[in-house]
């Protein structure tokens, strides 16, 4: 009998704890946005937050960037950004601020309604990043977001906060769909890649997410559940200009290097090789007698570039009337500092991740059926204007060899590009 009563009392006690615990959790989530936690302890640093608490913490650091034409006073666009440091630097996208070559007036508005004038510190079209500086901000408005020190994993939760269509303080949630993408930045009015800045180089190591990203989200943070910035939302893959479930963000590793350099020097110098070419296909592998379809065939070299000074040979590809490859020649890059090169993505990603201007790299090539190592001292990537003055300026795939549309990336079926891009 005593045992029976003990079991009943135990059941009542456990039920009471479950009900009380549920009520406490509910109140913690309900009041999270106003900062009230009903006596609950905050999540320890580095641990995952609930979505309401993540929004309450991060949203006060996310801003709306309004671009105003100083000549007419008219609004030219709206984007997003976030507080980078305690002195009021704002990280955003280059394409958000690049109207009128950056000769604009900028207004930075916080979610609490406080608005400030800002100046353009510098920008980098090649990574689609830019930095603004708030003028005389209140200390209570400056809450920097922390940058993640590691790349996200496919399947991780991703949270985008920004101002889609000017709707301030909007949060969307998804997952990391892929990492290590190569984002074309030569998008124009007819490109399915909406948002990315126009330049002649691709951005490597890009994060793909299905979190809804729409016009106005550009420049806003992509966060993990620890309230760390894993990327800056930069572009979407869309035929309509609205979210289609494929968004792209510049990774935190790139943000750290580029943004800090812009703050210090006003610019970022990208390491540069100076080659143009095509990834090895099964057809090319057969012509060159390669076992695997791996490597990068150099078809053009920028005059005066590091690759030119190092003695690289230009190559070429010949086609018949049916579009089949009949002959090919040239240097094939197979390794960079002993790291395998499967395609141009591997070269671009390695240079951006691990190298800087004036570093020396060793490229292993196949020339005339022989392996050869060539040492190259990396230069600084030329501006678009400098590149146009000397022709193709390198570190990219040859548009004419990639198919009909040069901005169709390798992971998107050519049929989709043929359908969407006219």
**What is the DSSP secondary-structure string of 137-205?**
--GGG--PPEEPSS---TT-EEEEEE-GGG-TTEEEEEEEEEEEEEEE----TT-SEESPPP-SSEEEE
Q: Which of 124, 128, 205, 331 is catalytic?
A: 128
Tokens of 147: 């940058």
Q: Where are the domains of the chain?
A: 57-141, 146-265, 271-416
Q: Which letter, b or e, does each residue of 351-364 get, where b requires 16 or more Cβ atoms within 10 Å of its Cβ?
A: bbeebeeeeebebb
Q: At what angle do helices 51-58 and 2-30 cross, to 10 degrees?
A: 30
Asked about 313 being catalytic, the answer comes back as no
Contacts of 379 (CB under 8 A, 6+ apart): 271, 272, 274, 305, 306, 357
Rounded-to-integer distance, Cα 162 and Cα 224, Å: 15
- Helix-strand-coil percent breakdown of the chain, rounded to 5? 25, 35, 40
**Architecture field, domain 57-141:** Beta Barrel (2.40)
3-state secondary structure of 283: helix
Contact 133, 264 (CB under 8 A): no
Q: Tell me whether domains 57-141 and 271-416 share a fold.
A: no
Question: Whose structure tokens read 């890059």?
Answer: 333
Exactly one of 61, 80, 95, 407 is catalytic; name it: 95
Q: Is 95 a catalytic residue?
A: yes
Give the pLDDT score at 2: 41
Q: For residue 226, what is the enclosing H or E element?
A: none
| CB contact set of 245 (below 8 Å; sequence gap of 6+) | 210, 212
Catalytic residue among 61, 168, 177, 218: 218
State the fold for domain 271-416.
Pdz3 Domain (2.30.42)
Q: Is 318 a catalytic residue?
A: no
Q: What is the CATH number of domain 146-265?
A: 2.40.10.10
Q: What is the pLDDT of residue 76?
A: 87
Distance CA 35, CA 18 (A): 24
Average pLDDT by consecutive 10-residue portion of the chain (422 residues)? 41 31 29 31 64 94 93 89 96 89 88 95 93 94 94 94 88 94 58 42 88 89 96 81 76 95 94 93 92 94 94 88 84 96 92 93 95 96 61 48 37 37 30
């Amino acid at each position: 009998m005593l045992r029976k009563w003990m079991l009943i009392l135990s059941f009542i006690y456990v039920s009471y704890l479950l009900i009380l615990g549920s009520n406490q959790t509910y109140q913690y989530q309900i009041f999270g946005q106003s900062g009230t936690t009903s006596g609950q302890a905050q999540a320890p640093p580095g641990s995952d937050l609930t979505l309401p608490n993540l929004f309450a913490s991060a949203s006060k650091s996310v801003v709306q960037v309004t671009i105003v034409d100083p000549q007419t006073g008219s609004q030219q666009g709206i984007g997003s950004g976030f507080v980078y440091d305690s002195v009021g630097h704002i990280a955003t996208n280059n394409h958000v601020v690049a109207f009128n070559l950056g000769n604009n007036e900028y207004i930075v508005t916080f979610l609490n309604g406080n608005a400030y004038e800002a100046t353009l510190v510098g920008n980098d079209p090649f990574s689609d990043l830019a930095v603004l500086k708030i003028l005389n901000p209140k200390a209570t408005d400056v809450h920097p977001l922390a940058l993640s020190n590691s790349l996200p994993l496919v399947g991780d939760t991703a949270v985008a906060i920004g101002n889609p269509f000017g709707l301030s303080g909007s949060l969307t949630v998804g997952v990391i769909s892929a990492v290590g993408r190569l984002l074309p930045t030569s998008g124009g009015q007819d490109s399915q890649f909406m948002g990315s800045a126009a330049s002649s180089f691709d951005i490597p190591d890009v994060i793909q997410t299905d979190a809804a990203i729409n016009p106005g989200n550009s420049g806003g943070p992509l966060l993990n559940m620890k309230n760390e910035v894993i990327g800056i939302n930069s572009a979407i893959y869309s035929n309509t200009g609205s979210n289609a479930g494929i968004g792209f963000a510049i990774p935190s590793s790139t943000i750290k290097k580029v943004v800090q350099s812009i703050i210090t020097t006003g610019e970022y110098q990208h390491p540069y090789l100076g080659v143009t070419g095509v990834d090895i296909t099964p057809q090319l592998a057969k012509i060159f007698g390669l076992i695997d379809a791996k490597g990068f065939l150099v078809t053009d070299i920028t005059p005066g570039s590091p690759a030119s000074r190092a003695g690289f040979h230009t190559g070429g590809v010949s086609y018949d009337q049916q579009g089949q490859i009949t002959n090919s020649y040239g240097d094939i890059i197979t390794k960079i500092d002993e790291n395998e090169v499967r395609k141009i993505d591997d070269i671009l990603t390695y240079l951006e991740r691990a190298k800087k201007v004036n570093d020396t790299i060793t490229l292993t090539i196949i020339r005339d059926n022989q392996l050869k190592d060539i040492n190259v001292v990396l230069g600084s990537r030329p501006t678009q204007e400098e590149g146009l003055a000397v022709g193709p300026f390198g570190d990219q795939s040859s548009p004419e060899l990639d198919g009909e549309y040069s901005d169709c990336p390798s992971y998107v079926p050519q049929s989709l590009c043929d359908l969407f891009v006219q």
